Amino acid sequence: MTQQAAFTDFNPMESPHRENPHLFYKWSRTEQPICFSPTLNAYVVTRYDDIKSIVDDPDTYSSSNAIPVLWQNPEPVVEALHGIIPEAATVVNTDEPQHAPLRKVLDHAFSGRRIRQRLPLMRTRSAELVDQFAGAHRADLVSAYADPYVQSIVSDVFGIPAEDNDRVQGWTNDYVTLLNPMVGVEEKVAAARRMHDYERYIDALAEQRRTSPRDDFMTDLVHGTDMVPAVSRDDLHYMFRGLRFAGHDTTRDLMTSTLLLLLDNDRRLWEMVRADRPVLQQVIEETLRRDAPHRGLMRVTTRDVEIGGTPLPAGTSLLLLFGSANRDESRFAAPDEVRLSRANIHEHLAFGSGIHQCPGAQLARTEVRTAIETLLDRLPDLRLAPGYEPSYVASFFFRGLERLEVTW
């Protein structure tokens, strides 16, 4: 990528945006807040006020293209998907009035009661994982801790048996591959073929819940709740697959980014949190603001509009870069700095806003806080490994560390 392209064509999969998108974000907010990316074939929106106005106006800015559609893949991929159920509703891609009943299902699934019920599992699972590597005095907290921990919790919420976690995570990775417009055809075809096994698995799990309901998300989808009826088989598949991938990567990446912030700069924040545990919640919020784990979502204009002085016709695709909005100087003073006492610390857009604000936000915060508290208790001398340098996963959707090497 040439130096000029680095500032005019946002590509989260490649350098320099993969490692540090914030240089592009800052340039765009100043020079071209509505900037066309040929690679994405969409306009990227980078200022806080513009993004907030878009997410708060779903009539003008539809969510129908929020994430890509499976059937818009190249023909060989579509052929490999043949026989899979047709595209159905997901809460992320729906507008009103279709959105409201789907959202009610999710609000029930991720209720405060459900989160509290999972606290013992969070504590037990985090302790079990620490037991597995504590004696080694060195670990990668992405692969050895954050990833398996989040898999366990989100699978329990969804009703996935623990012994199936790895299989379901493999299929979830395949689903993400199919949605990523920047992955090669050969890799997508292989993922598409494996999706048939995932479909059969979801059907079997749904049938189990039909005869033996439990207090989990799959049961909500199959039987409905007091507020909404059961969903169709097609909607069940798309909601289950979509929410399973959304609930894993963002929480894992938030956890490891928060740990990096705590352990960086001579562990100043780590020691502060050790001395005053409630401070951890502010650290999590500043991490969400400074390094939003979800890069952003798409919208499409339903009529001719003007955003930030740029006229756009109906049907224009927009990528809302929440990570840029969270460092907008007009909203957050000294946005690159860590300031735990910010009066507007909760105004970040890491979990979106409006009718599509992430329904699992509180579950994610609770998972992260609990897992970090376990590390504070069990490994108080935790520190970054000598020579460790952060590197980031090549991802269209998420911003997360590839590894987090630590010692104690």
Q: Helix or strand or coil: residue 349?
A: coil
Distance CA 134, CA 8 (A): 46
pLDDT at 8 over 80: no
What DSSP string describes 292-315? -SB-EEEEEESS-EEETTEEE-TT
Among the ranges 36-40, 65-69, 398-402, which has the highest mean pLDDT value? 398-402
**For residue 56, how far is the Cα from the chain centroid?**
20
At 58, is the pLDDT very low, low, confident or very high (cuts 50, 70, 90)? very high
The parent domain of residue 317 ranges over: 3-407
Q: What percent of the chain has pLDDT over 90?
A: 74
Global model pTM greater than 0.85: yes
Among the ranges 17-31, 58-72, 245-259, 371-385, which has the highest mean pLDDT value? 371-385
pLDDT at 3 over 70: no
Output phi, psi for 40, to 5 deg: -90, -10
pLDDT at 129 over 90: yes
Question: Once rounded to an integer, what is the mean pLDDT over residues 241-250?
Answer: 87
Question: Once rounded to an integer, what is the mean pLDDT over residues 129-158?
Answer: 96
pLDDT at 69 over 90: no
How many CB atoms lie under 10 A from the CB of residue 3? 7
Residue 10: the pLDDT is 85
Residue 50: the pLDDT is 97
Residue 314: the pLDDT is 98
pLDDT at 6 over 90: no
At 169, is the pLDDT very low, low, confident or very high (cuts 50, 70, 90)? very high
Distance CA 25, CA 310 (A): 17
Dump pLDDT digits (tens) for 364-403. 999 999 999 999 999 999 999 999 999 999 887 889 999 9
Residue 277: the pLDDT is 97
Sheet holding 405-407, edge to edge: 138-140, 405-407, 383-384
Residue 101: the pLDDT is 84
At 2, is the pLDDT very low, low, confident or very high (cuts 50, 70, 90)? very low
Whole-number average pLDDT of the chain? 92
| Upper half-sphere CA count for residue 26 (Cβ side, 13 Å) | 10
Residue 105: the pLDDT is 82
Question: Once rounded to an integer, what is the mean pLDDT over residues 235-252?
Answer: 89
Question: Once rounded to an integer, what is the mean pLDDT over residues 332-344?
Answer: 96
- Of 226-235, 263-272, 294-303, which gets the smallest average pLDDT? 226-235
Distance CA 223, CA 213 (A): 8
Residue 228: the pLDDT is 78
Type of residue at 86: P
The answer to whether 63 and 362 have CB atoms below 8 angstroms apart is no
Candidates 329, 397, 405; CA nearest to 141 is 405
Residue 7: the pLDDT is 67
pLDDT at 1 over 60: no
Question: Once rounded to an integer, what is the mean pLDDT over residues 16-43?
Answer: 92
CATH code, 237: 1.10.630.10
Say if residue 207 is exposed, middle or buried (CB neighbours under 10 Å; 0-12, 13-18, 19+). Answer: exposed
Instruction: Report how many domains make up the chain.
Output: 1
How far is the first Cα of the chain from the last one, in angstroms, to the nearest whole number?
40
Distance CA 259, CA 404 (A): 9
